[in-house]
Structure 1
Amino acid sequence: MMRLNTASARSEAGILATNKVLKNTYLLLSMTLLFSAAMAAVAMTLDLPHPGLIITMVGYFGLLFLTTRFSNSVLGLVFVFALTGFMGMTLGPILNMYVHAFSNGHELILTALGGTGVIFLGLSGYALTTRKDFSFMAGFLMVGVLVAFFAGLAAILFSVPALSLAVSAMFVLLMSGMILYQTSEIIHGGETNYILATVSLYVSIYNLFTSLLQLLGVFGGND
């Protein structure tokens, strides 16, 4: 009887811990998305130029390293906002480019934003309600992201539009899978740090949005 009570108490404690991680993750994710959007709006208003691939990569990986390094302290929160704010600043010039390059640029941005929201909420809701374990996707997603990342670099360096389009399509699928996987990890206790969980979901949402925007620009943009 005592063993049953102990097991029940542990199970209840695990559920409470998971719910706390979920709550903190979605709260912090909402705040970082709003902050990132605000930074993008500032960059658009000031018409800031894009910092370029090298500065973007150095800034992203540097801040990501610092966020991971201090994820168990208050400094982790500081670096989360630094990272998402920086990514918002790099997004602003991209959005300005769509606004100026296409007569329906604003519509493309809103459509990509709406599509991103629907995909994220739908997949997260599915993972939360079904509570399925998607940990089996880890290896496939890791390999897929690496392949897509290097293919994307090749598309930029060698100016291959068709490859760039294929990479965007790959990222839409991969980031959708990442959202399922990351949400599942939180639910099943694979990720217990809400700062790291927030960063993972933010990066997936960011890449999903930019990939959808690129696809919409190609197939639905009006010059």
Structure 2
Amino acid sequence: MANRTYDISQTNTGSLSNNKVLRNTYMLLSMTLLVSAASAWTAMAMGVGQMNIFIFLIGAYGLMFLVHKCKDSAAGLAAIFAFTAFMGFTLGPMLNLYLSLPNGGQIVGMALGMTGLTFVGLSAVALVTRKDFSFLGNFIMAGAIVLILAMVAAMIFQITALALAVSAGFVLFASAMILFETSRIVNGGETNYILATISLYVAIYNLFVSLLSILGIMSDD
């Protein structure tokens, strides 16, 4: 009887801890998305041109490394806000380009709406079912390598069909990341809300950019 009571107590403690991580993650994710949106608007207002790919890669991966390095301290919060502000700033030129199209506003609005609905839907699946999606880990690792190579090939050869395929691949990749990371939080696999936040943010960023690209390619304009 005592052991059963202890097991129930341990389960309740673990559940409360997981809920706390989930709550902190969604709170921080909301704030980072607002910072990213403000940064994108600033870049758009300033008319900033497209960033050099090497500067983008150094800035994005450098700040991401910093977030992981400082994940257990207050500096991690500053690092994740710096990362999301940088990523938002890189969206500015892209959004200006799409908004310059005759139906650009519709494309951006649709991509934003589809991103939000996809995130909410996939998160709900992981939260309600509490299913363990850790089996997606190998798929995500392999998919990341394949997508990076395909993305480089698409940039070099400028093949529209390949670019469309890469964008579709990133949509699947980002969707898998949302399921995987949310499942890890719910089931206690991820206990650091800063790392959970940056994973979900990157998934949302990739999902939005990929949907924007797909809708842009399919548009008559």
- Equivalent residue, structure 2, for 1:125: 124
Amino acid at match of 1:176: S
> Structure 1 unaligned runs (5+)?
none
- Equivalent residue, structure 1, for 2:77: 77
Q: Which runs of 4+ in 1 moved over 3 A?
A: none
Query: What's the TM-score, normalizing by structure 1?
Result: 0.97
Q: CA RMSD for the aligned pairs? A: 0.9
Q: Is 1:36–2:42 an aligned residue pair?
A: no
| 1:162 match: secondary structure | helix
What is the CA-CA distance between 1:107 and the residue it aligns to? 1.0
Q: Is 1:207–2:206 an aligned residue pair?
A: yes
C-alpha distance in structure 2 between counterparts of 1:217 and 1:51, whole Å? 20
C-alpha distance in structure 1 between counterparts of 2:5 and 2:70, whole Å? 37
What is the CA-CA distance between 1:160 and the residue it aligns to? 2.4
The aligned runs of 1:154-169 (5 Å cut-off) are 154-169=153-168
| 2:132 match: secondary structure | coil
Report sequence identity in percent: 52
What is the CA-CA distance between 1:12 and the residue it aligns to? 0.8
Q: Is 1:51–2:51 an aligned residue pair?
A: yes
Q: Is 1:86–2:86 an aligned residue pair?
A: yes
What is the CA-CA distance between 1:134 and the residue it aligns to? 0.5
C-alpha distance in structure 1 between counterparts of 2:195 and 2:145, whole Å? 19
| 1:48 match: secondary structure | coil
Query: What's the TM-score, normalizing by structure 2?
Result: 0.98
Amino acid at match of 2:102: S
Moved more, 153-162 or 190-199: 153-162
- Equivalent residue, structure 1, for 2:136: 137
Q: Is 1:170–2:180 an aligned residue pair?
A: no
| 1:135 match: secondary structure | coil
Partner deviation per Cα, 1:70-114 (whole Å, 9 max, x = no partner): 0000000000000000000001001111112x2011110010000
C-alpha distance in structure 1 between counterparts of 2:131 and 2:218, whole Å? 35
Amino acid at match of 2:118: I
C-alpha distance in structure 2 between counterparts of 1:175 and 1:4, whole Å? 40
Moved more, 153-162 or 62-71: 153-162
How many residues are paired up?
221
Amino acid at match of 2:211: L
Q: Is 1:152–2:151 an aligned residue pair?
A: yes
What is the CA-CA distance between 1:63 and the residue it aligns to? 0.2
- Equivalent residue, structure 2, for 1:26: 26
> Structure 2 unaligned runs (5+)?
none
| 2:135 match: secondary structure | helix
C-alpha distance in structure 2 between counterparts of 1:16 and 1:78, whole Å? 26
- Equivalent residue, structure 1, for 2:180: 181
C-alpha distance in structure 1 between counterparts of 2:149 and 2:38, whole Å? 30
| 1:71 match: secondary structure | coil
C-alpha distance in structure 1 between counterparts of 2:5 and 2:39, whole Å? 51
| 1:173 match: secondary structure | helix
